[in-house]
């Protein structure tokens, strides 16, 4: 028991957390200054205020700049270690962290960015007792905006070749409206054939059709968000029957305008329907931006199997 009479945190798993979104504001400021990257503001209080999202489009804007400030392998190691430290403080012992290798990775470190992730992951395991696994995700809109870059191929290659070094799944994230899951089926087919799991985001800012697409075309085994399933009773029944759980993030949904308030959030209906495995409410103070300093409802399907080690980072072509 603590001095306040509170019970110590029981060990828990974190299943919906974005690597780039977990960068601390102070760390972001330091990285931007180190690499000469201009931020909209140049002091910590103003930067924290900038992280207060107006809507999903603003979130995407912030997220793109967060990704751009990761330049060297040491940057990835630093953020990984700080993330692990934050998770350890919340009682988390296992986490599946979504990492987006966007254009900045393709243009930059490519073969070496994974060195930073792996070094940080090993330190987190050794010093903090937290086991990290990676979900490499394809950013829907970004892939479309950069047709000259084979980003989907690159990310899928990185994920497949990193499966012995902690990568457990391929994901799909970013803007849903106008970017349905179905066109990404070939890359998910490749990843699943190689032994990776399928964990796309769907049913956050788009409705049930997006979830149906993720399930039918991508073979989703777990869904990022998926809250809009409540709009289609047949879909909700299907998810429960097939044991495809949801990663529900209520305060993120409120911050990004998916729902106007917690009172109007469908969490209770989803839990009552059996679409959510168990609830986990965590708060990260001001160390992560609001979409990731959230109450989390963790789905129950995790893949904590030990991955065999191999020499060197994965090859990303």
**Nearest alpha carbon to residue 221 among 125, 112, 123, 96:** 96
Other Cβ atoms less than 10 A from the Cβ of 145: the count is 11
**Nearest alpha carbon to residue 18 among 49, 58, 63:** 63
Rg of the chain taking only CA atoms, in angstroms? 18
- Is 49 annotated in the active site? no
Q: Which of these is catalytic: 204, 221, 247, 280?
A: 204
DSSP secondary structure string for all residues of the chain: --TTSPPPPPPEEEEEEETGGG--HHHHHHHHHHHT---S--SHHHHHHHTS-SSHHHHHHHHHHHHHT--SHHHHHHHHHHHHHHHHHTTEEEEEEEE---HHHHHTTTTSHHHHHHHHHHHIIIII--EEEEEEEEEHHHHHH-TTS-HHHHHHHHHHHTTTTTEEEEEEES--TT--SGGGHHHHHHHHHTT-EE--EESSSS-HHHHHHHHHHH--SSEEE-GGGGG-HHHHHHHHHTT--EEB-HHHHHHTTSSS-GGG-THHHHHHHT-----EE---TTSS-TTTSSEEB--S----PPPPP-SSPPP--
Active site residues: 204
């Amino acid at each position: 028991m603590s001095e306040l009479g509170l019970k110590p945190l029981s060990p828990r798993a974190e299943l919906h957390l974005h690597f780039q979104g977990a960068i601390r504001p102070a760390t972001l400021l330091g990285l931007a200054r180190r690499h000469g990257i201009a931020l909209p503001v140049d002091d910590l209080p103003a930067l924290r205020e900038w992280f207060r999202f107006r809507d999903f489009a603003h979130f995407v804007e912030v997220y793109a700049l967060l990704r751009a400030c990761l330049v060297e392998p040491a940057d990835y190691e630093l953020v990984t270690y700080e993330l692990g430290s934050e998770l350890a403080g919340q009682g988390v012992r296992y986490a599946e962290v979504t990492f987006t290798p966007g254009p900045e990775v393709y243009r930059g470190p490519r073969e070496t960015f994974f060195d930073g992730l792996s070094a940080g992951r090993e330190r987190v395991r050794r010093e903090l007792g937290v086991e990290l696994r990676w979900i490499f995700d394809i950013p829907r809109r970004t892939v479309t905006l950069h047709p000259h870059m084979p980003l989907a191929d690159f990310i899928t290659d990185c994920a497949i070749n990193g499966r012995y070094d902690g990568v457990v799944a391929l994901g799909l994230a970013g803007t849903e409206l106008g970017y349905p899951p179905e066109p990404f089926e070939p890359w998910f087919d490749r990843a699943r054939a190689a032994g990776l799991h399928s964990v796309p985001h769907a049913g956050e800012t788009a409705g049930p059709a997006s979830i149906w697409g993720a399930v039918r075309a991508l073979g989703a085994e777990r869904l990022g968000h998926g809250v809009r399933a409540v709009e289609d009773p047949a879909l909700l029944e299907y998810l429960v029957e097939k044991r495809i759980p949801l990663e529900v993030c209520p305060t993120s949904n409120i911050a990004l305008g998916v729902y106007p308030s917690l009172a109007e959030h469908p969490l209770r209906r989803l839990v009552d329907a059996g679409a959510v495995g168990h609830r986990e409410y965590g708060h990260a103070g001001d160390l992560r931006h609001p979409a990731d300093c959230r109450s989390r409802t963790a789905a129950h399907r995790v893949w904590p199997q030990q991955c065999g080690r191999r020499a060197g980072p994965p090859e990303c072509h």
